[in-house]
Amino acid sequence: MTTRRTTLAFTLLELLSVIAIIGILAALIFPGVRAARISANKARTRVQFNQWAAALESFRSEYGYYPALHGSNLVNPPGQTSDPATLHLFHDILAARRRDGSALPPYATSTNSQFPEAQNQKLISFYSFNDADFTNASSPTPNLLRDAFDNTEIAVLVDRNLDGVIKAGSDFTTLPAVRGFTPGATDFPSAGVRAAVIFYVPAPGADAANPDFIFSWK
């Protein structure tokens, strides 16, 4: 008696069919995963901005006015040094220390009135920045404040005249551009926005044809 042996194996057609199915599934799943990741990072960015806004509100509650930030209305102004031991106006005012954790210089009557030690003379820590708030050491621009998408061009506007509305002309001259994009009238009406503090950054995929933004207030 002879025994017949059979070998189980995939044919080329079956392998190609499996590969095609995997490709179709990947095409369906990966965009959804990317969209979910973008949505999560947008939410993280808004939470981060709301925490910063709360710190600015705490400063105003303590001193009666908002701090005088850089005239560019950017969290990281043009030319901001990445050396954590040097001045970073936004960070140092709210943290009451330098980015490297060192103490601010002592206040004196001759101190520039815009310096953190002059604006926050009580050295109150209104916000504790953590590593996630900064670009990392391998970044081309390390030790700068960033959002969840690594944007370092972050606009910040405050209601300087305390009338409950942030408006061009009374609170700032022009809307600051972030990565070359400026919000239009649809996002920021000429009558202003009923808010005390506003942060915004360009949204992922923003371009000249679609200058989309992530706002802290909406």
Query: Model's pTM, two decimal places?
Result: 0.84
Judged by DSSP in three states, 102 sits in coil
Tokens of 203: 């949204």
Task: Answer whether 153's CB lies under 8 Å from 146's CB.
Answer: no
Tell me the percentage of the chain whose pLDDT exceeds 90.
Answer: 71
Give CA–CA dist 56/75, Å, rounded: 12
Give the model confidence (pLDDT) of 44-81 as tens digits: 999 999 999 999 999 999 999 999 999 999 999 999 99
**9 confidence band (pLDDT: 50, 70, 90):** low
Q: Residue 178's beta-bridge partner residues?
A: 181
Tell me the percentage of the chain whose pLDDT exceeds 70.
Answer: 90
**168 confidence band (pLDDT: 50, 70, 90):** confident
Give CA–CA dist 152/156, Å, rounded: 12
Is the per-residue pLDDT at 8 higher than 90?
no
